[in-house]
């Protein structure tokens, strides 16, 4: 029993620590924020904006509770007027009610307004933090390579950051509001409920008895809610993860729509999606079962709470100790106290979802931190600025995520202005060698000297085309304003894409709108605009016919005469366009360089 309690306390302490690390940094944020005030935009530290908005919301919470107290006092006067059939007092109290109701509406609207303002600012800050940490040092790439840590990072950043900020503010501010309500109405209930004599111990007098009844009623309800609903925390976590996996699989179908259509893979994809949804279906039944148990109790608890105050207060009313107005006022105060004490019962489902959200965000953050620690602790490539006219690799070992070695003791120097093709069987490490030179492959060690201040561009087999206008896709990774429309049209024409020149301002999903060959030619046009000193092409012409391939390669050499071209290719037509061969021997995991005459 003691061990079980100790484990629960340890779990609770661990969760609070995670919550602290997720919540506190925003309130200490040093970034500059912008806020509009009286038609002017002011730059203020984000932490001061957050604290000011929180203070405003808390102040409005106090005003709301004060209005509820006024309404409670009004309750007694209004129902006393009805009992006494006092018409003047009746209409006077209605006018008074109109005033406090208007004030309540005004304060409630602006409390929501400022809370939502705080919510979106916090979400923006938290999203920036997670996006920054995920993208910085190519952590996203390492997580994908190692398949470690949190699944579906896009859901963590988009959905969980939103849920966490929304739920944390709703729960935190709601709890503070209920505490204020409890303090205010406990005093009122104590004063109104009087005392009751219990037929025990020779007549035990209990002062403020209704307050004690409210405490017992709400305490018992909270304890039972926790016992019944605790499994929902785990089920919510599993349900969110399964939904994210199902969504990710559908995204994969959309991204690979053409390939799936060409393969006729719809039946297989349908089975995969059905399998993913089956996990949701199974977990949903658990969710239904636990939710049904919780709803049985909370529905009974809520219905009983509507009449329970009247039942408890009725003995004094029937004894003639209080008028009807005081009875309703007492019942109202009891309801407020009981409602405040029942906060846990009313918000348990939200709390369960909030805990699952916090755990998911924390898991994602821990995966990012672990990836960064691993990167710092492992032996790294020593990338240094070197001679402007050569790329050199010295004693480079290229590793694998599982700890194996792909290439061993690579010593390689490529002079500027040369054209070199990298050869080797599939899986021998050609593309990985490019990744090492690009500085994105984290596994291995050795010295890599990159040309100082050189412009380097990599063209993969499947070029990345961002969503947006065609000019934005063509200009990537630069900005569209960096190039004139005339320059873009000329680059397209050189790469046999003149039919796209009049669509530069058109927005779309160009990865789907263009054929693989058009995408590769667009990447060559991108290289012509970017004008790199060193251009790496990883089977960048695999979808092109020989004539088009020859045209775009010769266009690169003609228009970028000082550039070094380093290609990965299997096609003989590409070999003839280069001066030297870098051959990878998969048996010995070594690299050798062979010079040859161009176009033998």
User: Does the structure show a pLDDT above 70 at 599?
Assistant: no
Architecture of domain 18-375 in this structure: Up-down Bundle (1.20)
Interior/surface letters 12-26, b for 16+ CB within 10 angstroms, e for the rest:
eeeeeebbeebbeeb
Look at residue 40 and give its three-state secondary structure: strand
In the prediction, which pLDDT does 122 show? 96
Q: Is the peptide bond before 477 cis (omega within 30 degrees of 0)?
A: yes
Taking residue 109's Cβ as centre, other Cβ atoms within 10 Å add up to: 11
Q: Which residues contact 462 (CB under 8 A, 6 or more apart)?
A: 516, 519
Mean pLDDT of the chain: 85
Q: Which residues contact 539 (CB under 8 A, 6 or more apart)?
A: 461, 568, 569, 570
* Euclidean distance between CA atoms 423 and 433, whole angstroms: 11
In the prediction, which pLDDT does 532 show? 92
Residues belonging to the chain = 600
User: Does the structure show a pLDDT above 60 at 498?
Assistant: yes
User: Does the structure show a pLDDT above 70 at 594?
Assistant: no
User: For 342-381, where are the alpha helices, taking DSSP H only?
Assistant: 343-346, 348-377
In the prediction, which pLDDT does 284 show? 92
* Euclidean distance between CA atoms 5 and 458, whole angstroms: 58
pTM here is 0.72
- CATH 3.40.50.300 maps onto the chain at 381-595
Q: Count Cβ atoms within 10 A of the Cβ of residue 447 and give its class: 0-12 exposed, 13-18 middle, 19 or more buried.
A: middle
Residue 348 near residue 204 (C-beta atoms within 8 A)? no
Tens of pLDDT, residues 288-344: 998 898 889 888 887 887 788 888 778 778 877 788 888 888 888 888 888 888 787
In the prediction, which pLDDT does 597 show? 46
In the prediction, which pLDDT does 263 show? 67
Q: Count Cβ atoms within 10 A of the Cβ of residue 317 and give its class: 0-12 exposed, 13-18 middle, 19 or more buried.
A: middle
Mean pLDDT of 513-537: 93
> Where do the DSSP E strands lie in 160-293?
195-198, 204-207
Q: Which residues contact 439 (CB under 8 A, 6 or more apart)?
A: 381, 383, 448, 450
User: Does the structure show a pLDDT above 60 at 391?
Assistant: yes
Which residue, among 423, 407, 438, has the nearest Cα to 539 in the 3D structure?
A: 423
User: Does the structure show a pLDDT above 90 at 56?
Assistant: yes
CATH superfamily of this structure's domain 381-595:
P-loop containing nucleotide triphosphate hydrolases (3.40.50.300)
Q: Which residues contact 376 (CB under 8 A, 6 or more apart)?
A: none
User: Does the structure show a pLDDT above 60 at 149?
Assistant: no
In the prediction, which pLDDT does 560 show? 92
In the prediction, which pLDDT does 343 show? 85
Reported as a pLDDT band with limits 50, 70 and 90, residue 551 is very high
In the prediction, which pLDDT does 59 show? 97
In the prediction, which pLDDT does 125 show? 95
Return the axis-axis angle of helices 266-318 and 231-255, rounded to nearest 10°: 150
Using DSSP bridges, classify how beta strands 390-399 and 564-568 pair: parallel, antiparallel or unpaired: unpaired
Q: Return the residue matching tokens 């105050």.
A: 309
* Euclidean distance between CA atoms 103 and 64, whole angstroms: 9
CA dihedral sign of residues 42, 46, 51, 56: positive
Mean pLDDT of 45-60: 95
* Euclidean distance between CA atoms 498 and 352, whole angstroms: 57
Tens of pLDDT, residues 401-447: 877 888 888 888 888 888 888 888 888 888 888 888 888 888 888 99
For the chain, percent of residues with pLDDT exceeding 70:
92
User: Does the structure show a pLDDT above 70 at 600?
Assistant: no
For the chain, percent of residues with pLDDT exceeding 90:
32
Which residue, among 493, 324, 399, 360, has the nearest Cα to 142 in the 3D structure?
A: 399
In the prediction, which pLDDT does 499 show? 94
Interior/surface letters 536-573, b for 16+ CB within 10 angstroms, e for the rest:
bbbbbbbbbeeebbbbbbebbeeebeebbbbbbbebee
What is the DSSP code (8-state) at residue 443?
A: S
Mean pLDDT of 352-363: 87
User: Does the structure show a pLDDT above 70 at 589?
Assistant: no
- CATH 1.20.1560.10 maps onto the chain at 18-375
Reported as a pLDDT band with limits 50, 70 and 90, residue 595 is very low
How does DSSP assign 534-589, residue by residue? EEEEESTTTTS-HHHHHHHHHHHHHH-TT-EEEEE---HHHHTT-SEEEEEETTTT
């Amino acid at each position: 029993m003691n061990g079980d309690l100790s484990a629960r306390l340890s779990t609770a302490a661990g969760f609070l620590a995670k919550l602290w690390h997720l919540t506190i940094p925003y309130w200490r944020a040093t970034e500059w924020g912008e806020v509009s005030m009286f038609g002017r935009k002011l730059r203020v530290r984000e932490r001061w904006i957050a604290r000011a908005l929180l203070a405003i919301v808390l102040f409005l919470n106090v005003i709301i509770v004060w209005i509820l107290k006024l309404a409670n006092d009004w309750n007694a006067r209004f129902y006393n007027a009805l009992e006494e059939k006092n018409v003047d007092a009746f209409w006077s109290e209605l006018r008074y009610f109109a005033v406090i109701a208007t004030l309540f509406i005004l304060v409630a609207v602006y409390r929501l307004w400022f809370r939502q303002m705080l919510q979106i600012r916090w979400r923006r800050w938290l999203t920036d933090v997670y996006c920054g940490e995920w993208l910085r040092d190519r952590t996203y790439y390492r997580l994908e390579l190692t398949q470690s840590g949190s699944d579906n990072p896009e859901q963590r950043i988009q959905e969980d950051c939103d849920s966490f900020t929304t739920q944390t503010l709703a729960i935190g501010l709601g709890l503070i509001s209920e505490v204020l309500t409890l303090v205010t109405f406990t005093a009122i209930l104590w004063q109104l409920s009087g005392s009751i004599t219990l037929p025990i111990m020779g007549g035990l007098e209990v002062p403020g008895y209704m307050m004690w009844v409210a405490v017992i009623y709400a305490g018992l309800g909270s304890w039972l809610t926790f016992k019944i609903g605790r499994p929902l925390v785990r089920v919510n976590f599993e349900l969110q993860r399964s939904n994210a996996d199902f969504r990710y699989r559908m995204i994969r179908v959309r991204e690979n729509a053409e390939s799936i259509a060409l393969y006729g893979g719809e039946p297989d994809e349908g089975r995969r999606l059905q399998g993913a949804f089956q996990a949701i279906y199974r977990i949903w039944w658990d969710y239904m079962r636990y939710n049904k148990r919780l709803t049985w109790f909370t529905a009974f608890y809520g219905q009983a709470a509507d009449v329970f105050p009247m039942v408890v207060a009725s003995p004094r009313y029937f004894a003639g100790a209080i008028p009807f107005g005081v009875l309703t006022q007492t019942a109202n105060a009891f309801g407020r106290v009981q409602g405040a004490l029942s906060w846990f019962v009313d918000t348990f489902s939200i709390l369960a979802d909030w805990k699952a959200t916090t755990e998911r965000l924390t898991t994602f953050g821990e995966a990012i931190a672990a990836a960064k620690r691993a990167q710092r602790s492992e032996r790294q490539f020593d990338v240094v600025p070197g001679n402007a006219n050569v790329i050199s690799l010295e004693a480079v070992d290229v590793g694998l995520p599982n700890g194996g070695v792909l290439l061993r003791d690579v010593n390689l120097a490529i002079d500027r202005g040369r054209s070199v093709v990298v050869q080797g069987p599939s899986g021998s490490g050609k593309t990985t060698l490019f990744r090492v030179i690009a500085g994105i492959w984290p596994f291995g060690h050795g010295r890599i000297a990159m040309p100082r201040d050189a412009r380097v561009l990599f063209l993969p087999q499947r070029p990345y085309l961002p969503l947006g206008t065609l000019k934005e896709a063509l200009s990537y990774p630069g900005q569209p304003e960096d190039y004139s429309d005339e320059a873009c049209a000329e680059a397209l024409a050189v790469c046999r894409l003149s039919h796209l020149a009049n669509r530069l301002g058109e927005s779309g999903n160009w990865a789907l709108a263009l054929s693989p060959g058009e995408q590769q030619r667009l990447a060559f046009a991108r290289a012509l605009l970017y004008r790199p000193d060193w251009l790496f092409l990883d089977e960048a012409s695999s979808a092109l016919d020989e004539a088009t391939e020859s045209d775009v390669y010769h266009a690169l050499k003609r228009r970028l005469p000082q550039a070094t071209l380093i290609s990965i290719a299997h096609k003989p037509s590409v070999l003839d366009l280069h001066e030297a061969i870098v051959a990878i021997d998969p048996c010995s995991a070594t690299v050798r360089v062979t010079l040859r005459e161009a176009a033998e």
